[in-house]
Amino acid sequence: MLECKNEKMGAFRGRFRCVVMAGGRSSRFASTGHHKSMAKVRGMPVISHVIDYWRKFTDDFVFVVKNGREPLQEFIASLPIRAEFVEPPALRGIADGLGYARPLINGPFVVVLGDCFCRGHFQIPDDLEYGVLVQTAASQESIRRNYAVEVAGELVTAVEEKPTSVHNDYCGMGFYFFQPDVFEYIAATKPSPRTNELEITDVLQTIIDSGRKLHALCFDGAYVNVNTPDDLDAVAAAIEAHPD
């Protein structure tokens, strides 16, 4: 069983670069007229709240952007962070988009999905190379909207994207700690039969199957995967419940 530990996040500041994936089609936000990462919650774009959390680790960011990139880039450029931008020529899945950031990566990094909001705490093991954040006591609905995680001790043994059957209360979150050689695992992963895209969860399974340790980092707090405009209310509620 995973045990969540409360630790000051600043203890690891500067240890990782942060790669934010913000290239999605945002089809469910089409009626709003803007990229979902720019949808506002409490007067600020969702992407601002996402960046604020991960600045506890670093001010060094890479943004993989595609649709609606102009206003997104303009907003990010106004923030007090170091930001570089990558634009894939096409959208063929998160892992495929991540591959275009390879020239900008020369050390450990964390991948953050730009539509995934969190407030809370987790602990990073001193020997961490690869890891994913996992929310415990998650609802079956939340797991089905994200990905299922099987765990032995503190290591992930299997993952499944948007499972139809749920066997525990562990929800895989859209935050991944990687090393530069993850791009070799991406190259070794085939597109998903489900979507014909290069899924990040399939890359995680490739890492696991190779024998590499993939840590399950227990997360204690609020997590919202923003898929629809209604999810913005959940983000607002999470900010109120976790003001820090």
pLDDT in tens, 105-159: 999 999 999 999 999 999 888 889 999 999 999 999 999 999 999 999 999 999 9
Write out pLDDT tens, residues 19-67: 999 975 566 565 455 678 888 999 999 999 999 999 999 999 999 998 7
Q: Which domains occur in the chain, in start order?
A: 13-241 (3.90.550.10)
Q: Which two tokens stand for residue 17?
A: 């670069």
Residue 3 has a pLDDT of 77
Cβ pair 64, 88 in contact under 8 A: yes
The CA distance from 178 to 12, in Å, is: 15
Report CA torsion sign: 216, 13, 20, 137. Answer: positive
Q: Rg of the Cα trace of the chain?
A: 17
Residue 10 has pLDDT above 60, yes or no: no
Ranges 5-19, 40-54, 95-109, 223-237: which has the least confidence: 5-19
Give Cα 20 distance to the centre of its chain: 8
**E strand spans, the chain:** 17-22, 40-41, 44-45, 60-65, 82-86, 109-113, 116-121, 131-135, 147-152, 155-161, 171-178, 215-225
Give residue 145's pLDDT.
Answer: 94
> CA end-to-end span of the chain, whole Å?
27
> CA 195 to CA 149: how far, in whole Å?
20
Among the ranges given (9-18, 76-85, 91-100, 114-123), the one the predictor scored with the smallest mean pLDDT: 9-18
Tell me what pLDDT residue 107 has.
Answer: 96
Contact status, residue 17 vs residue 108, Cβ threshold 8 Å: yes
